Chains A and B, each alone.
Chain A
């Protein structure tokens, strides 16, 4: 079947990013195609549907300038593959996997299908190794562990890029001598944002251990669909074949989803919520679920996807479905940002689902879980009381409430707020936490075991 000449000049329809090729033979679902233009340029495409002798091809670089009569389509009898090499570290690629940093071409050790395979749940190893990001709101309250996928939910105008860069810069495990790499996948971000990351990576030397895939806002949107898969394939190669601990930053998932919607609309599929296709959940999961650890392998893949919530709305399908797949979320909040607090992490709705397995004796410190729960509940209490005070005035508050309001103000100022280059150890974060809890009498610290109160409660206060 593969021997027949598989080049066709029978394009019948072009609509949006899609092309319908007629009279084809032996074409399979998911197959790659070269689309040759009159002027000799070649674009890439992928088969989205085959029906009898008709194939629907999605054109990655877009269909602008294509004319049915002038295009030749050659089917390549293979899925989308990317050449892998350890030399990809320190390099920058575009959305079709070509180097764009003027460096030499990559000589691949092997080719891997970018769609990957699903990790057998039985072969997974549970993520339980603490990663110190140096950011208190993450380390102490929403602990990141190796193999986790923990997204940043942000919105336009908020400093998610700076936070992501800070994590990439500072992330370490409390062990030494391990190989660490960053894979950075930029989908539809602006030139400025992209430059910010590249410059930051260069400045700190992080670029040496990074692989960057960049699709800018004016690059073809369709490339955004393949880009995260290339990045993750690279990450899998580095993690599971080269024993590295890989941190993957995916930004911005919202742009990815919009590209997916564009394809879906062009195919006239029945839309789900807000016009996004019904399979958005499944599609996103094939990206996010590529994080993890595998039994018997040294490396790991940790994902930090970044997404901007349209209208700061957490119930929008993109953050909503993401939250259902990822293991928690870090929410970046506008009011804190306006108050000038960096990083403006909205602590209460943020969550790391895997924190419980990554903290405590031998990982962080024995009192970590209790301090975390206490800070949460005290801050929640203080915030509630503060809202009440806004409506009724401070006089409506009990003495206890006033104490909690003071606590939560100090919490935002001392604990949440930290410098962009301030790299706090977990001990330091715990220390700040205890200093703040010292504002409250021990009677109110219901979530902390007595033995820890005796050991850590600041004696000098009150």
Chain B
């Protein structure tokens, strides 16, 4: 694979290496730098000098050392074995590196991304003589208990199937031979794809299918769809990572690609330890059976961090092409942007806002645009989707900073995390007043049909109660709670219950961590029902004090712990509400 052309290092400054003598090398071509053969990528060519961002520490590299071309841009290996893997930003398998090189990451260490020792059973789905084009499914491999890996014709290729048969072997095993314009093309279970290029699709469609996440504030108030984009900005400690983990765990995507980009090592360990033990609510299988992890922690080289989101999205697109719905979590895109800033600074580029490169906006937009609901290339018009959920870590929690602002211009859902909520241990600390989802109408329409006809009515009502509460709060702050009418006091009570007993959700409680849409509806409905009843009770002569201290409130509080298979308990609580109000009035 090595092109073999060799040049020489002339300058080293941190992760940036400049070399000469690489005639013919292209932008974004991969090279191997120095005596250790460090991975690097050409990011600037100027008068015979090639600037290279290296994906590994450059200590010990100096002028005169060799730089070797590979002739290929940064690419990922795609094939059976991706699921359950953990990679660094340039798709080096961290488990294999740990096994072969020890607990520290050794420079220049290489292992194939897909494990060559694993055997796969290939079952053909086309026949000799069929005409196949890019994206067509040649056959399948059962990759995990729940994922059927489809072996596809590489994009841009086509021909007549000459040979194909069931076969067992590693990913390099030839599964089919295709006659392409007179020459023979050998197809194996693995293909390579340059990460910075989006994989082709037949056409993009507007995303319309709801992605259920089991998180009440998200599904009910700020929903996301399959193929949609969302961002989660928030200062540190506001719970971005927990939100991302919750989505990776519970979102009803078929495949999850989790990119830990410049974040904490211990957090990735958390995912690695937890996911094999957690069961996917849809399939009952361990979550790991549908997950690909990318871990480029903050102390790992900054250039590999820059590459990691592209590596992640290329893998996500590959599964999308099989017809799966894929969710990609990127935590955090700010670290990715900072990696760009760092490299840009070393290149001495003219900085834009806050030192970020001027192309920050276009890179961010380009990344999020790779999400979408699509008709995949190949026959049978199968549909696939990639959703992107990016965390943003604004410095000082300041949302006016460039990464947040450029992200908001392209994403459709905004879950704004609020540290005031986090301090009061209200999690998820999504601010219900500032967040938004542009998919709301789509999801409302769907949920009204599939969950309950009152879904959107209830949602709108609950939101207006919360908004009214915010206004009343201002008033209370100025003149005290006595200034409120009894009507308003009841509303404040309802709002508080929506906040504390519906929106507040404990990610670490087994019974509370995931709530089905049906139960979400019932929970909110219960609070609204209580609100209606106490208002009636008030006009029928019950005292405010009595209405605010009903014993049945305790039942509403505990409703979040009702198991998913005993939702009929909600009817009983509703009856209790009616009865206890009636008891007051009589």
Assuming the contacts A120-B94, A126-B273, A323-B237, asked whether A272 and B354 have C-beta atoms less than 8 A apart, the reply is yes
Segment with Cβ contacts to A, from B122-130, B139-147, B298-306: B298-306
**B225 lies within 8 A of chain A by Cβ:** no
Name B residues whose Cβ lies closer than 8 Å to a Cβ of A: 10-14, 18, 57-65, 86, 94-95, 97-98, 101-106, 235-237, 260, 262, 264-266, 268-270, 272-273, 295, 297-300, 302, 335, 338-339, 341-342, 345, 348, 351, 354-355, 393, 395-398, 419, 422-425, 476-482, 500, 508, 549, 554, 557
> Please, which residues of chain B bring their CB within 8 A of the CB of A349?
237, 419, 423
> Please, which residues of chain B bring their CB within 8 A of the CB of A396?
476, 479-482
Contact check, A28 vs B264: say whether CB atoms are below 8 A apart: no
Assuming the contacts A126-B269, A278-B341, A279-B342, asked whether A121 and B94 have C-beta atoms less than 8 A apart, the reply is yes
The closest CB in chain A to the CB of B12 belongs to A29
Q: Mark A372-415, 1 if CB is under 8 A from B, else 0.
A: 01001100110000001001100111100100000000000000
* A–B pairs, 30, beta carbons within 8 Å: A28-B62, A28-B65, A52-B10, A115-B59, A117-B105, A118-B104, A119-B103, A120-B94, A121-B269, A122-B86, A122-B97, A122-B272, A122-B295, A123-B102, A127-B266, A240-B103, A279-B345, A282-B298, A285-B262, A285-B299, A290-B299, A296-B103, A315-B397, A323-B236, A323-B237, A348-B423, A373-B425, A395-B480, A398-B481, A401-B481
The closest CB in chain B to the CB of A117 belongs to B104
**Other A-B pairs beyond A126-B273, A289-B264, 20, CB < 8 Å:** A29-B62, A49-B13, A51-B13, A117-B105, A118-B300, A122-B295, A124-B265, A126-B270, A148-B266, A269-B345, A271-B355, A273-B354, A295-B103, A325-B298, A327-B264, A329-B236, A357-B270, A369-B508, A391-B478, A395-B480
**A99 lies within 8 A of chain B by Cβ:** no
Assuming the contacts A148-B266, A279-B342, A292-B265, asked whether A351 and B481 have C-beta atoms less than 8 A apart, the reply is no
User: In the complex the two chains form, what is the Cα distance from A314 to B478 in whole Å?
Assistant: 28
> Please, which residues of chain A bring their CB within 8 A of the CB of B508?
356, 369
> Please, which residues of chain B bring their CB within 8 A of the CB of A397?
480-481
Within residues 215 to 270 of chain A, which ones have a CB less than 8 A from any CB in chain B? Answer: 240, 269-270
Residue of B58, B345, B480, B500 touching A270 (CB-CB under 8 A): B345
Assuming the contacts A272-B354, A377-B424, A396-B480, asked whether A50 and B11 have C-beta atoms less than 8 A apart, the reply is yes
> Please, which residues of chain B bring their CB within 8 A of the CB of A159?
none
Contact check, B477 vs A391: say whether CB atoms are below 8 A apart: yes
Contact check, A147 vs B266: say whether CB atoms are below 8 A apart: yes
> Please, which residues of chain B bring their CB within 8 A of the CB of A119?
103-105, 265
Contact check, A289 vs B297: say whether CB atoms are below 8 A apart: yes
Contact check, A28 vs B12: say whether CB atoms are below 8 A apart: yes
Contact check, B266 vs A126: say whether CB atoms are below 8 A apart: yes
User: In the complex the two chains form, what is the Cα distance from A6 to B185 in whole Å?
Assistant: 55
> Please, which residues of chain B bring their CB within 8 A of the CB of A126?
266, 269-270, 273
Contact check, B479 vs A392: say whether CB atoms are below 8 A apart: yes
> Please, which residues of chain A bring their CB within 8 A of the CB of B62?
26-29, 31, 50
User: In the complex the two chains form, what is the Cα distance from A321 to B13 in whole Å?
Assistant: 23
Assuming the contacts A50-B11, A50-B62, A79-B59, asked whether A121 and B345 have C-beta atoms less than 8 A apart, the reply is no
Assuming the contacts A271-B355, A325-B264, A348-B423, asked whether A282 and B98 have C-beta atoms less than 8 A apart, the reply is no
The smallest C-beta distance from B479 to any residue of chain A, in angstroms, reads 7
> Please, which residues of chain A bring their CB within 8 A of the CB of B300?
118
Counting chain B CB atoms within 10 Å of each CB, the highest count among A119, A127, A286, A443 belongs to: A119
> Please, which residues of chain B bring their CB within 8 A of the CB of A286?
299
User: In the complex the two chains form, what is the Cα distance from A115 to B301 in whole Å?
Assistant: 13
User: In the complex the two chains form, what is the Cα distance from A28 to B12 in whole Å?
Assistant: 8
> Please, which residues of chain A bring their CB within 8 A of the CB of B103?
119-120, 123, 240, 294-297
Residue of B14, B98, B345, B480 touching A123 (CB-CB under 8 A): B98
Residue of B11, B236, B477, B554 touching A320 (CB-CB under 8 A): B236
The closest CB in chain A to the CB of B423 belongs to A348
Name A residues whose Cβ lies closer than 8 Å to a Cβ of B: 1, 25-31, 48-53, 79, 115-127, 147-148, 240, 269-273, 278-279, 281-282, 285-286, 288-290, 292, 294-297, 314-317, 320-321, 323-325, 327-329, 348-349, 351, 353-354, 356-357, 369, 373, 376-377, 380-381, 388, 391-392, 395-398, 401, 443, 446-447
Contact check, A324 vs B94: say whether CB atoms are below 8 A apart: no
Contact check, A120 vs B97: say whether CB atoms are below 8 A apart: yes
The smallest C-beta distance from A258 to any residue of chain B, in angstroms, reads 18
User: In the complex the two chains form, what is the Cα distance from A147 to B354 in whole Å?
Assistant: 34
Assuming the contacts A29-B59, A49-B11, A348-B423, asked whether A281 and B94 have C-beta atoms less than 8 A apart, the reply is no
Contact check, A28 vs B345: say whether CB atoms are below 8 A apart: no
Contact check, B237 vs A380: say whether CB atoms are below 8 A apart: no
User: In the complex the two chains form, what is the Cα distance from A295 to B104 in whole Å?
Assistant: 12
- Which 8 A-B pairs have CB atoms at the shortest separation, nearest pair first? A315-B396, A396-B480, A28-B62, A30-B59, A285-B298, A117-B104, A289-B299, A123-B103
> Please, which residues of chain B bring their CB within 8 A of the CB of A443?
549, 554
Contact check, B61 vs A28: say whether CB atoms are below 8 A apart: yes
Residue of B13, B63, B395 touching A53 (CB-CB under 8 A): B63
> Please, which residues of chain A bring their CB within 8 A of the CB of B236?
320, 323-324, 329
The smallest C-beta distance from A353 to any residue of chain B, in angstroms, reads 8
Contact check, A278 vs B265: say whether CB atoms are below 8 A apart: no
The smallest C-beta distance from B348 to any residue of chain A, in angstroms, reads 8
> Please, which residues of chain A bring their CB within 8 A of the CB of B105?
117-120
User: In the complex the two chains form, what is the Cα distance from A325 to B265 in whole Å?
Assistant: 10
Contact check, A354 vs B266: say whether CB atoms are below 8 A apart: yes
Residue of B58, B98, B299 touching A30 (CB-CB under 8 A): B58
> Please, which residues of chain B bring their CB within 8 A of the CB of A288?
298-299
The closest CB in chain A to the CB of B240 belongs to A324
Contact check, B477 vs A388: say whether CB atoms are below 8 A apart: yes
Residue of B58, B86, B273, B500 touching A446 (CB-CB under 8 A): B500
User: In the complex the two chains form, what is the Cα distance from A282 to B425 in whole Å?
Assistant: 29
Contact check, B480 vs A124: say whether CB atoms are below 8 A apart: no
The smallest C-beta distance from B489 to any residue of chain A, in angstroms, reads 10
> Please, which residues of chain A bring their CB within 8 A of the CB of B554?
443
Assuming the contacts A278-B341, A279-B302, A320-B236, asked whether A52 and B425 have C-beta atoms less than 8 A apart, the reply is no
Residue of B265, B398, B423 touching A315 (CB-CB under 8 A): B398
User: In the complex the two chains form, what is the Cα distance from A356 to B102 in whole Å?
Assistant: 29
> Please, which residues of chain B bring their CB within 8 A of the CB of A369?
508
User: In the complex the two chains form, what is the Cα distance from A25 to B62 in whole Å?
Assistant: 9
User: In the complex the two chains form, what is the Cα distance from A124 to B86 in whole Å?
Assistant: 13
User: In the complex the two chains form, what is the Cα distance from A438 to B182 in whole Å?
Assistant: 85
> Please, which residues of chain B bring their CB within 8 A of the CB of A320?
236, 395-396
Counting chain A CB atoms within 10 Å of each CB, the highest count among B57, B264, B270 belongs to: B264
Contact check, A376 vs B424: say whether CB atoms are below 8 A apart: yes
Assuming the contacts A123-B98, A285-B298, A325-B298, asked whether A117 and B106 have C-beta atoms less than 8 A apart, the reply is yes
The smallest C-beta distance from A185 to any residue of chain B, in angstroms, reads 17
> Please, which residues of chain A bring their CB within 8 A of the CB of B338?
278, 281-282
Assuming the contacts A50-B63, A52-B63, asked whether A120 and B11 have C-beta atoms less than 8 A apart, the reply is no
User: In the complex the two chains form, what is the Cα distance from A269 to B351 in whole Å?
Assistant: 11
Contact check, B265 vs A289: say whether CB atoms are below 8 A apart: yes
User: In the complex the two chains form, what is the Cα distance from A314 to B236 in whole Å?
Assistant: 11
> Please, which residues of chain B bring their CB within 8 A of the CB of A321?
395
User: In the complex the two chains form, what is the Cα distance from A117 to B108 in whole Å?
Assistant: 13
User: In the complex the two chains form, what is the Cα distance from A424 to B296 in whole Å?
Assistant: 39
Counting chain A CB atoms within 10 Å of each CB, the highest count among B299, B345, B508 belongs to: B299
> Please, which residues of chain A bring their CB within 8 A of the CB of B398?
315
> Please, which residues of chain A bring their CB within 8 A of the CB of B18?
51
> Please, which residues of chain B bring their CB within 8 A of the CB of A290?
299
> Please, which residues of chain A bring their CB within 8 A of the CB of B265?
119, 121, 124, 289, 292
